[in-house]
Amino acid sequence: MVSIKDIAATNSRHVWATVSGPIDAVGVAALTTFGPDTVTVGGKAQKPAWAHSISGLIIGAASDAVAAAGSITGCRLRDGIEPSAQYFCGQAISTQTTVAHHYSTTNQELNPMLKAIGPVGVDGTPGVTDLGSADMTVSLRWDAAPTPAKLYWLAAQVSSTAATDLLTDAPIAFGGDTTFPMNVPDTASGIRALGGAMASDCAAAGMNVGQYRLQGNGLIDSPQDFAGSGIGGEAAATSATSQKFPYFDEWLGVNKGSQLAWRAGYTGTDTGTETLGVALAFQLSS
């Protein structure tokens, strides 16, 4: 089975296209430029006539850390793919700016296995929390070969201020779009990929690790519980860190047309305001 984390070398015809832009506030912003040039037509990346799939996705993002905040960046692909829209998490960024630390980010690199049918709109988001001034760049690889497995990617986030949060929050939104709870698509044959991560504004000394529960009649075996990434430190107001949102390959059986929902929380000692992010990809039969 082809891995969602492997942008494999291919001997079929392919070309990379890249769009960039600011993501300076919550919600989504269209990414339309590369260097000094506007590289989209009608705000969308143009599909080559010979392309049948999108076989690579790279998400890069960083902020100036002027806002003392933590959040999970991501992008939305709309139009030109089936189904539309689809949502991908990028980086978990945690910053606290009383001391002006710099940090670096790592690109999210995925094989999204998307069927390409036309021009694609690419939108970026800092997540549920404003990170200050921020920028994002997203690369798509148009491929002449058909996709080996048609996937449908979704993500959700929630912000928590609770000192102790034992699966009390329901991630529902990504970039302002409500994505969960949802019904399993009628064409879904299973859940092909999963992910979960947390970020923090590092406003308190402490440490915590994320915990995530996928539940509902939409799963053949429900619930499914997952460990997540963590964050910690001995002092507040001295932190700036980033990590790539972790996806992993999976296969979970589903009941078509039945509901799926997420619950999220963490265990440990409060580090301030946390952002909890979750993601999955369905494999579709058609």
103 located within any domain: yes
9 located within any domain: no
Q: Which domain holds residue 139?
A: 14-284
Question: Which residues, in sequence order, are CB contacts of 62 under 8 Å at separation 6+?
Answer: 93, 103, 104, 105, 134, 135, 242
3 located within any domain: no
Range of lowest pLDDT (53-57, 172-176, 204-208, 281-285):
204-208
pLDDT tens track for 94-122: 887 655 578 889 999 999 999 999 999 99
pTM recorded for the entire structure: 0.95
176 located within any domain: yes
7 located within any domain: no
8 located within any domain: no
Pairing of strands 134-143, 240-244: unpaired
Structure token pair of residue 276: 């909890």
Q: What is the pLDDT of residue 103?
A: 83
2 located within any domain: no
pLDDT at 235 over 70: no
- Count: domains in the chain: 1
pLDDT tens track for 39-70: 999 999 999 999 999 999 999 999 887 777 88
243 located within any domain: yes
